[in-house]
A and B are shown apart, each in its own frame.
Chain A
Amino acid sequence: MTDETKVDQTLDVRGEICPNPDVRTMTTLEKMEKGQILEVLVDYPLSVERIPKNAENRKHKVVKIEKVSGPEHRILIEAKANK
């Protein structure tokens, strides 16, 4: 996949049950350096809707949400960008 954004870390939570995709995304973001980009691969519909919202609430910046195929989405988040 060609993408102009440099990804620092990838979190693959495809197939995971509620709320692991959300919790693991948030804990991973907390451990990352400011400005680093996290790529989340997720196919659980509730988390696809909720991860961007909760990441923004926790002062991270959602760079991109992209539908890969079927329920699978790729979300790019910049850690602590708004701090």
Chain B
Amino acid sequence: MNPLIFWGLLVGLVFGFALSRGRFCMNSAFRDIIVLKDYTLLKAVGVAILVSMIGFTIMDKTGVIALNPKPFFWGANMVGGFIFGIGMVLAGGCASGISYRAGEGMVGAMSAVLGLTLAGLMTSMGSFKPAADFLQGTTKMTLPDGANLTLANVFGISHHWLAFGIAAVAIILWIIFAIRGRKAEKEEKASLCARIFKHGWGWKSTGIVIGIVGMVAFYSSAAAGRNYPLGITAGWVTILKSLVMGENFLNWIAMMIIGLVLGALAAALIAGEFRLRAPSPGVLIQTFCGGLLMGFGAVCAAGCNITHILSGVPQLALSSMLAGAFIILGCWAAAWWMFVRPMRKL
């Protein structure tokens, strides 16, 4: 076993802690654009992507890491992403959301993780594998030299300049909106310690911390032989595979998941928020089924929301942008059906 995989445990601990304190969940972020019209978590996701985009680009330019965008297979990215998006609404959380809430003691999230892991394993090596292989194999596209497509290389522009350009435009737009819509967000009057350990974090702190965790993850994961930043599904699948086959397959990403759950558990215990709590049996079945859809979708699209939206979009991977867009579309379709439509009938 490569001792460097223990860095994954450390990265996971910080990641899980930040997810729990920031209540960071992409399902809420995207769903609440149409359901609650609350954009707080969406802003946190935006900041995290921006920080990672700038960080990855600097790290690549200075030779600390080498960018590794996921392969582009449009059919699998679209179908997998859409199914994943539907699944996360049923599961009540994205891949990272259900993982950290399992650590906080929410049984509904644990049942979703079970579904995600089971379907993930069945799709990566079991009976669902042919479906994913077919979609990936028949729709794969690369550059003539075999490179995976990114927004930069399909147009033949420099990756570094494009990434910095997008970041600069985003920051300028952000400043303009911040000046125009200044509504004096309430400043908390509490000690720094209480704000870190006891209260929920604001969207800016959450986004910045998660963006930096992504950078450290890329470096330490590559050092351990896995050249990619954060992911979720592969970690759970590796843990289950080790348990089922009785062989130690634990790698950086599996250790990261163990750390993530422990980090969220620690965060909840320190804040006095830990408790085992369960919804009705019907909802437990619903979250399990949601997890199953997520597991298939994630492996089919070669990534869940973390692999694609948090780790792939900052690398300008075309696969991640397409899968990310379809995750959002799937999320909206399910959220409209489950929440918006019934509310209109009132």
Contacts and interface: CB of A to CB of B under 8 A. Distances in A.
A26 B342 CA distance: 12
Contact of A19 (B91, B108, B287, B339): B339
Interface in B289-323: none
Contacts, number: 79
B279 A50 contact: no
Contact of A17 (B106, B272, B342, B346): B106
A35 interface: no
* Chain A interface helix/strand/loop/mixed: helix
B279 A19 contact: no
B107 A22 contact: no
Interface in B100-115: 104, 106-109
A71 B25 contact: no
A50 B39 CA distance: 11
B278 A50 contact: no
Contact of B277 (A23, A26, A31, A43): A43
A70 B272 contact: yes
Nearest to A53: B38
Contacts of B272: 70-71
B343 A18 contact: no
Contact of A72 (B27, B97, B275): B275
Interface stretch (B28-36, B49-57, B78-86, B239-247): B28-36
Nearest to A30: B346
Contacts of B339: 19, 23
B109 A70 contact: no
Contacts of A54: 36, 38
B23 interface: yes
Nearest to A70: B275
A17 B104 CA distance: 13
A18 B273 contact: no
Given A27-B343, A46-B23, A17 B36 contact: no
B274 interface: yes
A72 B275 CA distance: 9
Nearest to A67: B272
A71 B346 contact: no
Given A18-B28, A46-B23, A54-B38, 13 more contacts: A14-B277, A15-B279, A15-B280, A16-B283, A17-B91, A18-B92, A19-B28, A19-B36, A23-B339, A31-B346, A43-B275, A45-B200, A71-B268
Interface of B: 23, 25, 27-28, 31-32, 35-36, 38, 40, 91-93, 97, 104, 106-109, 200, 268, 272-275, 277-280, 283, 287, 339, 342-343, 346
12 contacts: A15-B278, A16-B283, A17-B92, A17-B283, A18-B28, A19-B36, A19-B339, A23-B36, A46-B200, A70-B275, A71-B268, A71-B275
Shortest beta-carbon contacts, A-B, top 10 = A17-B92, A46-B23, A17-B108, A71-B273, A15-B277, A70-B275, A18-B92, A15-B279, A15-B278, A16-B279
